[in-house]
Amino acid sequence: AGSAVKHGFSFLPEAWAQGPGGQGVAAPGWATRVPVDGNLYYLGTADGKTFEEAREKALANARTGATNAWVQEAGGKELAGKTALIEQLASALGSAAAPAQTFVAPGAGGSFHGYVLLRLSRGAAEFAAQSVFTETKAPADAKLLSTIKGEK
């Protein structure tokens, strides 16, 4: 199976893993509907041959999704065309997100399906972005900072 990543507060389709004996194990509620509490969330899912592999792949997918979401967000602002700066910002923002929840369920044929929900507080996101602007001596992108603060 593939992976799913969501940025922000959108709803996700419900996912299921097969438990022992073919029983369906429902995904946790936060995997189908991310919390709405002022933070930013990124969901990663993945299959693995072991419990740990499924969890680690889901975490990697969540981080990749967070980074990709910020590349898209920054690329559409005043930073358009400044690829290296955008990638540095996206990497800092993706790395600032911390695991809030993890869940791994047994799947079909002895495999496992993992879910990881990363949480990025708006304060931490703003600090990470401001740090990159300061470090690179690039002028701060007011539109991106506004988006981070939730002011769109």
pLDDT in tens, 107-145: 888 899 999 999 999 999 999 999 999 999 999 999 899
Q: How far apart are CA 51 and CA 33, in angstroms?
A: 23
pLDDT in tens, 44-79: 999 999 999 999 999 999 999 999 999 988 876 688
Sign of CA dihedral 16, 29, 9, 50: negative
pLDDT in tens, 21-44: 445 578 889 998 889 999 999 999
* Predicted pLDDT at 43: 95
Could you count the other beta carbons within 10 Å of the beta carbon of residue 60? 14
* Predicted pLDDT at 74: 86
6 three-class SS: coil
Amino acid at 82: K
Q: How far apart are CA 64 and CA 62, in angstroms?
A: 5
Q: At what angle do helices 142-149 and 122-136 cross, to 10 degrees?
A: 160
Question: Which ranges of the chain does DSSP label H, i.e. alpha helix?
Answer: 29-32, 51-75, 83-96, 122-136, 142-149
Whole-model pTM? 0.79
